Amino acid sequence: EIILFLSYHYFMVIDALVPCYNEGPRVDGVLGVLQNSPLIHKIIFVDGGSTDDSLARAQKYTKVEILALGKRGGKGQDVKEGLKKISTSAVFLCDADLLRLTLRHVEKMVTLYEKNPKGLVVGLTQKSRYYFIHWLRANLLPLISGMRVVSVSDLKNVLAHPLSKDWGIEVYMNYYFGKKNKPITKILLDNVNDPPKPSKGHGWKSHLLEAYDVTQKYFLTYGKQLPLDFWESLKTDIFPAYKDETTYPTHSLDLDGTKINYALVGRGPALIFVHGWASNWEGWKP
Protein backbone atom coordinates (compact mmCIF):
# COMPACT_ATOMS: atom_id res chain seq x y z
CA GLU A 1 0.00 0.00 0.00
CA ILE A 2 2.87 2.39 0.76
CA ILE A 3 4.51 1.67 -2.59
CA LEU A 4 1.25 2.30 -4.46
CA PHE A 5 0.73 5.54 -2.56
CA LEU A 6 4.18 6.87 -3.42
CA SER A 7 3.83 5.81 -7.04
CA TYR A 8 0.52 7.58 -7.43
CA HIS A 9 1.76 10.83 -5.93
CA TYR A 10 4.95 10.94 -7.94
CA PHE A 11 3.13 12.77 -10.73
CA MET A 12 1.53 16.17 -10.52
CA VAL A 13 -2.22 16.44 -11.07
CA ILE A 14 -3.57 19.22 -13.27
CA ASP A 15 -6.80 20.39 -14.86
CA ALA A 16 -7.51 19.91 -18.56
CA LEU A 17 -9.13 22.50 -20.82
CA VAL A 18 -10.87 21.27 -23.98
CA PRO A 19 -12.28 23.90 -26.38
CA CYS A 20 -14.81 22.41 -28.78
CA TYR A 21 -16.89 23.29 -31.82
CA ASN A 22 -18.92 20.55 -33.54
CA GLU A 23 -16.64 17.63 -32.69
CA GLY A 24 -19.40 15.21 -31.63
CA PRO A 25 -18.01 12.08 -33.37
CA ARG A 26 -14.61 12.60 -31.71
CA VAL A 27 -15.49 13.96 -28.27
CA ASP A 28 -15.76 10.55 -26.57
CA GLY A 29 -12.30 9.51 -27.73
CA VAL A 30 -10.77 12.56 -26.03
CA LEU A 31 -12.90 12.97 -22.91
CA GLY A 32 -12.87 9.23 -22.19
CA VAL A 33 -9.07 9.25 -21.94
CA LEU A 34 -8.91 12.42 -19.84
CA GLN A 35 -11.69 11.06 -17.58
CA ASN A 36 -9.63 7.92 -16.83
CA SER A 37 -6.28 9.63 -16.36
CA PRO A 38 -5.16 9.86 -12.69
CA LEU A 39 -3.13 12.94 -13.70
CA ILE A 40 -6.20 14.96 -14.68
CA HIS A 41 -8.05 16.53 -11.77
CA LYS A 42 -11.00 17.88 -13.75
CA ILE A 43 -11.87 18.73 -17.35
CA ILE A 44 -13.17 22.15 -18.40
CA PHE A 45 -15.12 21.57 -21.60
CA VAL A 46 -15.70 24.88 -23.39
CA ASP A 47 -18.29 24.66 -26.14
CA GLY A 48 -18.12 27.51 -28.63
CA GLY A 49 -21.65 27.27 -30.03
CA SER A 50 -21.74 23.68 -31.32
CA THR A 51 -24.80 22.70 -33.31
CA ASP A 52 -24.22 18.94 -33.11
CA ASP A 53 -24.29 16.57 -30.11
CA SER A 54 -20.93 17.64 -28.65
CA LEU A 55 -22.51 19.03 -25.47
CA ALA A 56 -24.72 16.00 -24.91
CA ARG A 57 -21.73 13.67 -25.21
CA ALA A 58 -19.65 15.76 -22.78
CA GLN A 59 -22.37 15.65 -20.13
CA LYS A 60 -21.84 11.89 -19.66
CA TYR A 61 -18.49 12.34 -17.92
CA THR A 62 -18.25 12.98 -14.18
CA LYS A 63 -14.94 14.85 -14.34
CA VAL A 64 -16.25 17.29 -16.93
CA GLU A 65 -17.35 20.82 -16.05
CA ILE A 66 -19.17 22.32 -19.02
CA LEU A 67 -18.94 25.95 -20.08
CA ALA A 68 -21.33 26.63 -22.96
CA LEU A 69 -20.59 29.99 -24.58
CA GLY A 70 -23.47 29.82 -27.03
CA LYS A 71 -21.58 31.28 -29.99
CA ARG A 72 -18.35 30.74 -31.84
CA GLY A 73 -15.82 33.37 -30.79
CA GLY A 74 -12.54 31.71 -31.70
CA LYS A 75 -10.24 29.39 -29.81
CA GLY A 76 -8.49 32.22 -27.98
CA GLN A 77 -11.76 33.40 -26.47
CA ASP A 78 -12.77 29.85 -25.55
CA VAL A 79 -9.49 29.25 -23.73
CA LYS A 80 -9.69 32.62 -21.98
CA GLU A 81 -13.15 31.84 -20.61
CA GLY A 82 -12.23 28.29 -19.66
CA LEU A 83 -9.12 29.42 -17.80
CA LYS A 84 -11.36 31.12 -15.24
CA LYS A 85 -12.46 27.63 -14.12
CA ILE A 86 -8.95 26.16 -13.75
CA SER A 87 -8.01 25.39 -10.15
CA THR A 88 -4.46 24.00 -10.59
CA SER A 89 -1.14 25.77 -11.23
CA ALA A 90 -0.83 24.28 -14.72
CA VAL A 91 -3.28 23.32 -17.44
CA PHE A 92 -3.42 20.59 -20.08
CA LEU A 93 -4.76 22.17 -23.28
CA CYS A 94 -6.30 19.49 -25.43
CA ASP A 95 -8.03 19.61 -28.83
CA ALA A 96 -11.44 17.94 -29.02
CA ASP A 97 -10.87 16.37 -32.45
CA LEU A 98 -7.99 13.99 -31.67
CA LEU A 99 -8.02 10.37 -32.81
CA ARG A 100 -6.32 7.52 -30.90
CA LEU A 101 -5.27 9.58 -27.87
CA THR A 102 -4.19 7.32 -24.96
CA LEU A 103 -3.38 7.58 -21.27
CA ARG A 104 0.29 7.11 -22.12
CA HIS A 105 0.29 10.25 -24.28
CA VAL A 106 -1.20 12.30 -21.45
CA GLU A 107 1.32 10.91 -18.97
CA LYS A 108 4.30 11.67 -21.22
CA MET A 109 3.28 15.30 -21.69
CA VAL A 110 2.50 15.96 -18.02
CA THR A 111 5.71 14.33 -16.76
CA LEU A 112 7.80 16.31 -19.26
CA TYR A 113 6.22 19.51 -17.99
CA GLU A 114 6.82 18.49 -14.38
CA LYS A 115 10.55 18.30 -15.09
CA ASN A 116 10.57 21.94 -16.19
CA PRO A 117 7.44 23.82 -15.05
CA LYS A 118 8.82 27.13 -16.36
CA GLY A 119 8.60 25.86 -19.92
CA LEU A 120 6.00 24.75 -22.43
CA VAL A 121 5.32 21.19 -23.64
CA VAL A 122 3.80 20.78 -27.12
CA GLY A 123 2.45 17.46 -28.40
CA LEU A 124 2.70 16.92 -32.15
CA THR A 125 0.24 14.61 -33.85
CA GLN A 126 1.67 12.01 -36.20
CA LYS A 127 0.75 13.40 -39.61
CA SER A 128 3.19 11.04 -41.27
CA ARG A 129 5.21 7.95 -40.38
CA TYR A 130 8.32 9.42 -41.99
CA TYR A 131 10.78 10.88 -39.47
CA PHE A 132 11.82 13.63 -41.91
CA ILE A 133 8.28 15.02 -42.00
CA HIS A 134 8.12 15.02 -38.21
CA TRP A 135 11.50 16.82 -38.07
CA LEU A 136 10.19 19.49 -40.43
CA ARG A 137 7.06 20.02 -38.34
CA ALA A 138 9.08 20.21 -35.13
CA ASN A 139 11.81 22.54 -36.39
CA LEU A 140 10.80 24.48 -39.51
CA LEU A 141 7.07 24.43 -40.13
CA PRO A 142 4.64 26.55 -38.04
CA LEU A 143 4.10 25.08 -34.56
CA ILE A 144 0.32 25.31 -34.28
CA SER A 145 -0.47 22.10 -32.41
CA GLY A 146 -3.17 22.62 -29.78
CA MET A 147 -1.89 19.88 -27.44
CA ARG A 148 0.02 21.79 -24.76
CA VAL A 149 0.90 21.78 -21.07
CA VAL A 150 1.58 25.25 -19.69
CA SER A 151 1.50 27.08 -16.39
CA VAL A 152 -1.62 29.12 -15.63
CA SER A 153 0.47 32.25 -15.02
CA ASP A 154 2.16 32.00 -18.43
CA LEU A 155 -1.13 31.28 -20.15
CA LYS A 156 -2.70 34.35 -18.54
CA ASN A 157 0.15 36.50 -19.87
CA VAL A 158 -0.32 35.05 -23.34
CA LEU A 159 -4.08 35.61 -23.32
CA ALA A 160 -3.66 39.21 -22.15
CA HIS A 161 -2.12 40.11 -25.52
CA PRO A 162 -4.47 41.05 -28.41
CA LEU A 163 -2.66 38.65 -30.76
CA SER A 164 -4.12 35.71 -28.81
CA LYS A 165 -7.65 36.49 -29.92
CA ASP A 166 -9.60 34.35 -32.38
CA TRP A 167 -7.47 31.42 -33.61
CA GLY A 168 -4.00 32.90 -33.14
CA ILE A 169 -3.32 31.74 -29.61
CA GLU A 170 -0.67 29.12 -30.50
CA VAL A 171 1.22 31.58 -32.71
CA TYR A 172 1.62 34.18 -29.99
CA MET A 173 2.23 31.55 -27.30
CA ASN A 174 5.25 30.28 -29.24
CA TYR A 175 6.54 33.83 -29.61
CA TYR A 176 5.96 34.62 -25.92
CA PHE A 177 8.05 31.67 -24.72
CA GLY A 178 10.83 32.52 -27.15
CA LYS A 179 10.85 36.16 -26.04
CA LYS A 180 11.02 35.14 -22.39
CA ASN A 181 13.78 32.59 -23.11
CA LYS A 182 11.60 29.83 -21.73
CA PRO A 183 12.10 26.34 -23.19
CA ILE A 184 9.61 24.72 -25.56
CA THR A 185 9.70 20.92 -25.43
CA LYS A 186 8.18 19.14 -28.45
CA ILE A 187 7.06 15.53 -28.29
CA LEU A 188 5.68 13.26 -31.00
CA LEU A 189 2.37 11.70 -29.98
CA ASP A 190 2.79 8.46 -31.93
CA ASN A 191 -0.32 7.22 -33.73
CA VAL A 192 -2.36 10.30 -32.68
CA ASN A 193 -3.93 12.30 -35.48
CA ASP A 194 -6.83 14.59 -36.28
CA PRO A 195 -9.10 14.41 -39.34
CA PRO A 196 -8.61 16.88 -42.21
CA LYS A 197 -10.66 19.99 -41.55
CA PRO A 198 -12.83 19.76 -44.72
CA SER A 199 -13.95 16.27 -43.67
CA LYS A 200 -15.38 17.52 -40.36
CA GLY A 201 -18.35 19.22 -41.98
CA HIS A 202 -17.76 22.72 -40.60
CA GLY A 203 -17.99 24.28 -44.04
CA TRP A 204 -15.24 25.77 -46.19
CA LYS A 205 -15.98 29.34 -45.08
CA SER A 206 -15.23 28.47 -41.46
CA HIS A 207 -11.92 26.80 -42.35
CA LEU A 208 -10.83 29.62 -44.63
CA LEU A 209 -11.55 32.26 -41.98
CA GLU A 210 -9.54 30.29 -39.43
CA ALA A 211 -6.62 29.83 -41.84
CA TYR A 212 -6.69 33.53 -42.72
CA ASP A 213 -6.63 34.54 -39.04
CA VAL A 214 -3.71 32.24 -38.20
CA THR A 215 -1.73 33.54 -41.20
CA GLN A 216 -2.48 37.12 -40.21
CA LYS A 217 -1.31 36.45 -36.66
CA TYR A 218 2.03 35.17 -37.97
CA PHE A 219 2.58 38.36 -39.97
CA LEU A 220 1.53 40.60 -37.06
CA THR A 221 3.59 38.68 -34.49
CA TYR A 222 6.85 38.42 -36.41
CA GLY A 223 6.45 41.41 -38.71
CA LYS A 224 5.24 43.95 -36.15
CA GLN A 225 5.45 42.71 -32.56
CA LEU A 226 8.97 41.29 -32.92
CA PRO A 227 10.50 44.56 -34.21
CA LEU A 228 8.70 46.53 -31.49
CA ASP A 229 9.98 44.24 -28.74
CA PHE A 230 13.47 44.31 -30.26
CA TRP A 231 13.49 48.10 -30.22
CA GLU A 232 12.33 48.21 -26.61
CA SER A 233 15.11 45.86 -25.53
CA LEU A 234 17.67 47.80 -27.57
CA LYS A 235 16.48 51.09 -26.13
CA THR A 236 16.94 49.95 -22.56
CA ASP A 237 20.40 48.58 -23.37
CA ILE A 238 21.55 51.88 -24.91
CA PHE A 239 19.75 54.12 -22.42
CA PRO A 240 19.55 52.33 -19.04
CA ALA A 241 17.41 55.16 -17.66
CA TYR A 242 14.53 53.85 -19.81
CA LYS A 243 14.33 50.93 -17.39
CA ASP A 244 13.06 53.43 -14.83
CA GLU A 245 9.30 52.91 -14.75
CA THR A 246 8.71 56.31 -13.07
CA THR A 247 5.74 58.10 -14.59
CA TYR A 248 5.44 61.87 -14.80
CA PRO A 249 2.26 63.94 -15.05
CA THR A 250 1.81 65.32 -18.57
CA HIS A 251 0.04 68.53 -19.58
CA SER A 252 -0.93 70.31 -22.78
CA LEU A 253 -1.52 73.91 -23.81
CA ASP A 254 -2.54 75.80 -26.94
CA LEU A 255 0.10 78.29 -28.04
CA ASP A 256 -1.04 80.44 -30.96
CA GLY A 257 -3.01 77.55 -32.44
CA THR A 258 -0.30 74.95 -31.86
CA LYS A 259 -0.89 72.20 -29.32
CA ILE A 260 2.10 71.69 -27.03
CA ASN A 261 2.46 68.63 -24.80
CA TYR A 262 4.89 68.75 -21.89
CA ALA A 263 5.81 67.14 -18.59
CA LEU A 264 6.87 68.76 -15.34
CA VAL A 265 9.78 67.09 -13.54
CA GLY A 266 11.66 68.17 -10.42
CA ARG A 267 11.63 71.46 -8.48
CA GLY A 268 13.24 74.91 -8.66
CA PRO A 269 13.71 77.45 -11.47
CA ALA A 270 12.34 76.34 -14.84
CA LEU A 271 14.76 74.77 -17.30
CA ILE A 272 13.10 73.96 -20.62
CA PHE A 273 14.27 70.93 -22.61
CA VAL A 274 13.18 71.03 -26.26
CA HIS A 275 13.52 67.83 -28.27
CA GLY A 276 14.29 67.54 -31.95
CA TRP A 277 12.22 66.25 -34.84
CA ALA A 278 10.98 62.60 -34.68
CA SER A 279 11.26 62.52 -30.90
CA ASN A 280 9.17 63.46 -27.84
CA TRP A 281 9.63 64.56 -24.25
CA GLU A 282 10.48 61.01 -23.15
CA GLY A 283 13.71 61.35 -25.11
CA TRP A 284 15.02 63.46 -22.23
CA LYS A 285 14.44 60.84 -19.53
CA PRO A 286 17.95 59.39 -19.71
pLDDT of residue 3: 47
> What pLDDT, in 10s, does the model give residues 30-75?
999 999 999 999 999 999 989 999 999 999 999 999 999 988 778 9
Q: Kindly state the percentage of the chain with pLDDT values over 90.
A: 50
pLDDT at 198 over 70: no
Q: Does residue 91 contact residue 159 with C-beta atoms inside 8 Å?
A: no
CA distance 189 to 209: 28
Mean of pLDDT values over 123-138: 71
> What pLDDT, in 10s, does the model give residues 213-250?
888 888 999 898 998 888 777 766 666 555 555 677 78
Q: Mean pLDDT: which of 130-134, 142-146, 182-186 is highest?
A: 182-186
How far does Cα 77 stand from its chain's mean position? 11
pLDDT of residue 13: 94
Q: Does residue 112 contact residue 169 with C-beta atoms inside 8 Å?
A: no
Per the rule left: phi > 0, alpha: psi between -120 and 50, beta: everything else, 195 is beta
Per residue, the 3-state secondary structure of 39-66, as one string, reads: CEEEEEEEECCCCCCHHHHHCCCCCEEE
Q: How many residues does the chain have?
A: 286
CA distance 243 to 245: 6
**DSSP reduced 3-state for 11:** coil
pLDDT of residue 137: 63
CA distance 81 to 78: 5
Long-range contacts of 234-241 (CB under 8 A, 24+ apart): 239/285, 239/286, 240/286, 241/285, 241/286
Average pLDDT, the chain: 85
Amino acid (1-letter code) at residue 240: P
Sheet hosting strand 40-47, strand order edge to edge? 64-68, 40-47, 14-20, 90-93, 147-151, 120-125, 184-189
> What pLDDT, in 10s, does the model give residues 6-38?
444 456 899 999 999 989 999 999 999 999 999
- Comparison of pLDDT for 210 and 180, the residue scoring more: 180
pLDDT at 4 over 50: no
- Comparison of pLDDT for 84 and 211, the residue scoring more: 84
Q: Give the global pTM.
A: 0.75
Determine the longest span between alpha carbons in the chain, in angstroms. 86
pLDDT at 86 over 50: yes
